[in-house]
Chain A
Amino acid sequence: MNKEELIIETENLQKKYITDTVETTALAGVDLKIKKGEFVAIMGPSGCGKSTLLNILGMLDSPSSGAFRFLGQDISKATERQRAKLRKENLGFVFQSFNLIDELTVEENIALPLAYLGVSKADTEKKAREAMERMGIAHRRNHFPQQLSGGQQQRAAIARATVSNPSLILADEPTGNLDSVHGREVMSLLSELNEAGTTVVMVTHSPSDAEYAHRIVNLFDGQIVTENLNVRRHATELL
């Protein structure tokens, strides 16, 4: 694998949680390499460390030990401010529970990342509108999150994740709170984004969602147990 193409590289990544009496190991030495443009699904039973791994990859949490390089840059020692900068410039997040801000309208939610990037007002409006149109929720722009269906909320969340054109999207059970129809819709959207060049890393329980990925990483007790290429997806692409 060519190093230039790597967006994420971890070596012996460990994460331990220490409470008053118990020490819990969430990640016990994860070595993972993800190339630019890849769509990777992380699977495994509850408590295997999927979300912890995703949070570390998303720079929302820091590892206890081990190396983590993002686009070749060592992140494990980065300050909160540096990580905030990397996040806003490169990453988009999609959550199971959507996590839209209740007090902001759909459009304002989507425009939020641009505000932290210091994008001009006119550009913000344009980009937010494009993102909404892409996700088919432009007609709901002035609604508040509670006024939308789950599927619409998740589309708004994806619009927000992609509005700043990030190179990596991290999705944590993006269909977990949706019915199957809306779930499929969301997966197609993520797939389209990936096809357009965005790297996607997704944590999921659902084998059918994992079908959309190029590669499936199986975690168990904080370690990668298997890594499978998704033959069908690769086959389609080869055709």
Chain B
Amino acid sequence: MLQNYFKIALRNLIRNKVYSAINIAGLAIGVASCILIFLYIKDELSYESHFDKADRIVRLVGEIDSDAGHEQFALSAPALAPALVKDFPDVEHVTQLARAGKQTVWYKDKRFNEDDLIFADSSFFQVFNYEMLAGNPAEVLDEPNTVVLSEKMAQKYFNSPAEAVGEIFTFSNEPYQVTGVFRDAGHSHIKANAFISRSTLDARLDDETRNNQWFAMSRYTYVLLHGPEEFDAFQAKMDAFAARHVNPWIKENDLSGTMRFVVQPLRTIHFDTNYAADLSPAGNISYVYIFAAVAVFLLLIACINYMNLATARSAKRAKEVGLRKVVGADRSQIIRQFMGESVFITLIAVMLALALVQILIPTFNALTDKNFTSGFFLQWEFLAILLAIVVFVGIVAGSYPAFFLSGFKPADVLKSDKAPRGGSAILRRALVVLQFTISLIMIIGTIVVFSQMNFLKNRDLGFNKNQVMVIDIPRGDSTLVKGLPRIKQELLSNPNVEVVSNTNNIPAEGMSKLLMLMEKDGQQVEKTMNTMFVDYDFLDAMGIKLSRGRNYSRDFKTDEKSALIINEAAAKLMGWTNPIGKRIQVMDLDAKVIGVTKDFHTKSLHTEVEPLLMVLAPESDGYLLARVKPQDMAATVNFIENKWQAYDPKHPMDYFFMDEHFDEQYRAEEKMLTVFGYFAGLTILIACLGLFGLASFTAEQRTKEIGIRKVLGSSTGSIVLLLSKDFALLVMLSIILASPVAWYGMNKWLQDFAFRVPLSWWIFAAAGCSAMLIALLTVSLQAMKAAMLDPVNAIRTQ
């Protein structure tokens, strides 16, 4: 019997090629998208999972409440580690990391600028079990001046990991011996090219910082507990810990505010966007939800196609059902047959989907910046998901047709003059409306997303990001800093170089906050504020405008000691109506505000412009900015390259352009949203496939009516109109339903941005019109075919 069902299913598929193609193509596209989305989500959720003890590790992050507001840092103080060990002897391990950032690395005659260097101690590898390709994890970082390389970094310098061990590298003029090589597999918020023994760094700390300075937040502190069930209790212990050690210290030192340590489970770090100065940018969990929803939508739309087309076509299968009943089939057997058929079709679609995925993986990788391979095809998790898809789609898509078809009465359907109607037209219409509502929500979403992205890139940032070449000035090299005035002059000798400036920081890089005293109602109050160290030419090089006062000037000898520039947001924060002359004490400066800049963005437009202090420090290292003329760019860049390399032959030169660097902040988001856009396109495609099938069915069903109308003198045009009108109404209804939902969703998404496009009516109108246009094109094609038939043939077919 199974064989019989199989044959019927297969022959039906072959005989009704268009119908089968629509169903299978729709399902295959839906399933392929689901598989790709599954891969993406699984990858996003896989952070830290490769560490054996991932579920037992927590990070302690700092939260400070003070006049400056509520501040959250991924960082904590060096003093935390020894205090934890002392207070909680039952804690298995405490380990701290510190960023070493980007450094020039020397090895024999090789020189590279290496990023993502991290200071760690010997207990680090006890907590995070990296696979070691060389070296013993228990002791690799025991000695000072040792370094453990990542496999990737080792490959740059050596032929094999074993070869690296014992070799000497130089970082910041200090020798470090390679003691091990680890494999950099799996996703983690800790992205390291090398772990450097922290003892060198620790040796530099003064006693106060080492033992007691709780606001010296420069470390990432991880604690290995016995299991997740301890997390809550440990949080309570940490609250008591802060009350015991930290808050008394704050009082003793006449500082304001209170501090708390929050226990952050390792597995939650990747999606936790709350903490500043994290080791790597946080992921966005809402994209995981959005993509999961998109996957379900795509499958649902494909299922609806199947249901609609199967019931619409049911008249054709009615005779078969009747006959099977006549020869003795009962209803349950018929239900099983049709369910089986949909599972069978789903299986074919899944096969096709797998082939599609295989073809699409490289493109998908390029779109998402991931590195998927088809190796996952054989993982049990994947096979389980595949099975779930087959069962879900088979049952969802197959159930309605199965129950509907199996209800046919043989006495009704076997009389040739009494063909049954193809299922409930109302239900079918409702399903079409659902499909188009989903598609429209996605179209509207796509339009909003892309206009927002466009807005972000083109908005006036308060500075001119174009035509600024940025050169990394290696930090901590005093001879380089001393010679800056000379190299700046040399660069300015080229008429295409307009302004040259040096600064410790640039927009889109993390800003550091400093504690300062600021004048408020005749008193000096404590504030923490983003602070940059800039030279005389910074505002000109950046194209930042002053709203009050003046820029730093070489003509005022006192500027270096007693003048400060702030932005408007800082003036607003202090409530200064006339900020010029207000007193600010920061570090060893006691200075007056001489200028206020217009607000400019130092971070992505997700956030408002924050208060900012720009301190004059002509010897800042960090970045050299060169504003160049657009003419002869390549030659100018080449000129600057040559000059800089001659000036600093010790370090490999790193440079980039400000605009690209700033837009880089949106790159991950943009990639994700591009993928979303593709999937939105696919939903529309699948929905239209279904509509095409349904329209052809309607035209077929109404052939006789069309014939009679034509005999009575109706034109082709009016028949196309007649057939299209119904569908147009359905799409219209979808627009009405989709608009508020999309408005709500997109409004919520836009809340993530401090600066956003308005949700104007034209977005909804454009989405509605395009959906209507696509739907009508699809339908009228079929309608036209029916309307052009000779009326004689049309009447005869019934």
User: What is the minimal beta-carbon distance from A158 to any residue of chain B, in angstroms?
Assistant: 13
- In the complex, what residues of B have CB within 8 A of residue A104's CB? 4, 7-8, 11
Contact between chains at A88 and B327 (CB < 8 Å): yes
- In the complex, what residues of A have CB within 8 A of residue B617's CB? none
User: What is the minimal beta-carbon distance from B458 to any residue of chain A, in angstroms?
Assistant: 60
Interface of A (DSSP majority class):
helix
Contact between chains at B411 and A55 (CB < 8 Å): yes
Query: Is there a chain B Cβ closer than 8 Å to A4's Cβ?
Result: no
- In the complex, what residues of A have CB within 8 A of residue B332's CB? 81
User: What is the minimal beta-carbon distance from A13 to any residue of chain B, in angstroms?
Assistant: 15
- In the complex, what residues of A have CB within 8 A of residue B320's CB? 101-103
User: What is the minimal beta-carbon distance from B323 to any residue of chain A, in angstroms?
Assistant: 5
**57-94 of chain A: CB within 8 A of chain B:** 58, 60-61, 80-81, 84-85, 87-89, 93
| Closest B residue to A92 using CB positions | B327
User: What is the minimal beta-carbon distance from A75 to any residue of chain B, in angstroms?
Assistant: 15
Query: Is there a chain B Cβ closer than 8 Å to A137's Cβ?
Result: no
Contact between chains at B414 and A103 (CB < 8 Å): no
**393-410 of chain B: CB within 8 A of chain A:** 409-410
Contact between chains at A93 and B409 (CB < 8 Å): no
- Which listed residue (B1, B8, B15, B414) contacts A99, Cβ 8 A? B414
User: What is the minimal beta-carbon distance from A141 to any residue of chain B, in angstroms?
Assistant: 15
| Closest B residue to A81 using CB positions | B330
- In the complex, what residues of A have CB within 8 A of residue B323's CB? 99-101, 112
> How many angstroms from the CA of A134 to the CA of B410 in the assembled complex?
27
Contact between chains at A160 and B327 (CB < 8 Å): yes
> How many angstroms from the CA of A55 to the CA of B412 in the assembled complex?
10
> How many angstroms from the CA of A89 to the CA of B330 in the assembled complex?
13
Query: Is there a chain A Cβ closer than 8 Å to B270's Cβ?
Result: no
- Which listed residue (B11, B15, B330, B414) contacts A84, Cβ 8 A? B330
| Closest B residue to A111 using CB positions | B4
Contact between chains at A99 and B328 (CB < 8 Å): no
Query: Is there a chain A Cβ closer than 8 Å to B219's Cβ?
Result: no
> How many angstroms from the CA of A34 to the CA of B146 in the assembled complex?
105
**324-378 of chain B: CB within 8 A of chain A:** 324-333
Contact between chains at B1 and A80 (CB < 8 Å): no
- Which listed residue (A61, A93, A112, A160) contacts B4, Cβ 8 A? A112
Known contacts A101-B319, A115-B1; A80/B330 CB under 8 A = yes
> How many angstroms from the CA of A100 to the CA of B414 in the assembled complex?
10
- In the complex, what residues of B have CB within 8 A of residue A116's CB? 1, 324, 327-329, 333
**1-47 of chain B: CB within 8 A of chain A:** 1, 4, 7-8, 11-12, 15
Contact between chains at B7 and A108 (CB < 8 Å): yes
- In the complex, what residues of B have CB within 8 A of residue A39's CB? none
Query: Is there a chain B Cβ closer than 8 Å to A32's Cβ?
Result: no
Query: Is there a chain A Cβ closer than 8 Å to B62's Cβ?
Result: no
**615-631 of chain B: CB within 8 A of chain A:** none
- Which listed residue (B1, B15, B328) contacts A103, Cβ 8 A? B15
Query: Is there a chain A Cβ closer than 8 Å to B796's Cβ?
Result: no
User: What is the minimal beta-carbon distance from B333 to any residue of chain A, in angstroms?
Assistant: 7
- In the complex, what residues of B have CB within 8 A of residue A88's CB? 327-329
- Which listed residue (A80, A81, A87) contacts B327, Cβ 8 A? A87
Query: Is there a chain A Cβ closer than 8 Å to B416's Cβ?
Result: yes
Interface string of A99-121 (1 = CB under 8 A from B): 11111100010001101110000
User: What is the minimal beta-carbon distance from B328 to any residue of chain A, in angstroms?
Assistant: 2
> How many angstroms from the CA of A51 to the CA of B411 in the assembled complex?
9
Interface of B (DSSP majority class):
helix
| Closest A residue to B327 using CB positions | A113
Interface string of A142-186 (1 = CB under 8 A from B): 000000000000000000100000000000000000000000000
- In the complex, what residues of B have CB within 8 A of residue A85's CB? 328, 330
- In the complex, what residues of A have CB within 8 A of residue B12's CB? 103
- In the complex, what residues of A have CB within 8 A of residue B180's CB? none
How many interface residues does B have (CB within 8 Å)? Answer: 27
Query: Is there a chain A Cβ closer than 8 Å to B415's Cβ?
Result: yes
- In the complex, what residues of B have CB within 8 A of residue A95's CB? 414
Known contacts A84-B325, A93-B326, A101-B323; A60/B410 CB under 8 A = yes
- In the complex, what residues of B have CB within 8 A of residue A87's CB? 325-328
Contact between chains at A99 and B322 (CB < 8 Å): yes
> How many angstroms from the CA of A167 to the CA of B7 in the assembled complex?
30
Query: Is there a chain B Cβ closer than 8 Å to A25's Cβ?
Result: no
Contact between chains at A117 and B319 (CB < 8 Å): no
Query: Is there a chain B Cβ closer than 8 Å to A97's Cβ?
Result: yes
User: What is the minimal beta-carbon distance from B647 to any residue of chain A, in angstroms?
Assistant: 82
| Closest B residue to A95 using CB positions | B414
- Which listed residue (A89, A101, A108) contacts B328, Cβ 8 A? A89
- In the complex, what residues of B have CB within 8 A of residue A100's CB? 323
Residue from B12, B324, B327 with most neighbouring chain A CB atoms (10 Å):
B327
- In the complex, what residues of A have CB within 8 A of residue B4's CB? 104, 108, 112, 115
> How many angstroms from the CA of A102 to the CA of B15 in the assembled complex?
10
Interface string of B173-212 (1 = CB under 8 A from A): 0000000000000000000000000000000000000000
- In the complex, what residues of B have CB within 8 A of residue A112's CB? 4, 323-324, 327
User: What is the minimal beta-carbon distance from A51 to any residue of chain B, in angstroms?
Assistant: 7
User: What is the minimal beta-carbon distance from A229 to any residue of chain B, in angstroms?
Assistant: 30
User: What is the minimal beta-carbon distance from A85 to any residue of chain B, in angstroms?
Assistant: 7
Interface string of B476-497 (1 = CB under 8 A from A): 0000000000000000000000
- In the complex, what residues of A have CB within 8 A of residue B330's CB? 80-81, 84-85
Contact between chains at A60 and B319 (CB < 8 Å): no
- In the complex, what residues of B have CB within 8 A of residue A99's CB? 319, 322-323, 326, 414
User: What is the minimal beta-carbon distance from A9 to any residue of chain B, in angstroms?
Assistant: 21
Contact between chains at B11 and A51 (CB < 8 Å): no
User: What is the minimal beta-carbon distance from B16 to any residue of chain A, in angstroms?
Assistant: 10
Interface string of B150-180 (1 = CB under 8 A from A): 0000000000000000000000000000000
Known contacts A60-B325, A81-B330, A85-B328; A103/B7 CB under 8 A = yes
**112-133 of chain A: CB within 8 A of chain B:** 112-113, 115-117
- In the complex, what residues of A have CB within 8 A of residue B409's CB? 60-61
> How many angstroms from the CA of A96 to the CA of B415 in the assembled complex?
9
> How many angstroms from the CA of A99 to the CA of B319 in the assembled complex?
7
Contact between chains at B411 and A61 (CB < 8 Å): yes
**409-450 of chain B: CB within 8 A of chain A:** 409-411, 414-416
> How many angstroms from the CA of A80 to the CA of B4 in the assembled complex?
23
- In the complex, what residues of A have CB within 8 A of residue B416's CB? 96-97
> How many angstroms from the CA of A198 to the CA of B332 in the assembled complex?
30
> How many angstroms from the CA of A116 to the CA of B326 in the assembled complex?
11
User: What is the minimal beta-carbon distance from A104 to any residue of chain B, in angstroms?
Assistant: 7
User: What is the minimal beta-carbon distance from B161 to any residue of chain A, in angstroms?
Assistant: 63
- In the complex, what residues of A have CB within 8 A of residue B324's CB? 112, 116
User: What is the minimal beta-carbon distance from A221 to any residue of chain B, in angstroms?
Assistant: 20
Contact between chains at B326 and A101 (CB < 8 Å): no
- Which listed residue (B331, B333, B411) contacts A60, Cβ 8 A? B411
Interface string of A37-60 (1 = CB under 8 A from B): 000000000000001000100101
> How many angstroms from the CA of A102 to the CA of B331 in the assembled complex?
21
> How many angstroms from the CA of A88 to the CA of B12 in the assembled complex?
25
- In the complex, what residues of B have CB within 8 A of residue A117's CB? 328
- In the complex, what residues of A have CB within 8 A of residue B410's CB? 60
> How many angstroms from the CA of A104 to the CA of B4 in the assembled complex?
9
- In the complex, what residues of B have CB within 8 A of residue A115's CB? 1, 4
Contact between chains at A103 and B327 (CB < 8 Å): no
> How many angstroms from the CA of A96 to the CA of B328 in the assembled complex?
19
> How many angstroms from the CA of A80 to the CA of B335 in the assembled complex?
14
> How many angstroms from the CA of A81 to the CA of B331 in the assembled complex?
8
User: What is the minimal beta-carbon distance from B1 to any residue of chain A, in angstroms?
Assistant: 5
Residue from B1, B322, B409, B411 with most neighbouring chain A CB atoms (10 Å):
B411
Q: Shortest 3 CB-CB distances between A and B: which pairs? A: A88-B328, A84-B330, A103-B11
Please, could you name 24 A-B residue pairs with CB atoms under 8 Å apart, sorted by A? A58-B326, A60-B326, A60-B410, A80-B330, A84-B325, A85-B330, A87-B325, A87-B327, A87-B328, A88-B328, A97-B415, A99-B326, A99-B414, A101-B8, A101-B320, A101-B323, A103-B12, A108-B7, A112-B323, A112-B324, A115-B1, A115-B4, A116-B329, A116-B333
> A81-B330, A104-B11, A115-B4 are known contacts; what are 4 more A-B pairs with Cβ within 8 Å?
A87-B325, A103-B320, A108-B7, A160-B327
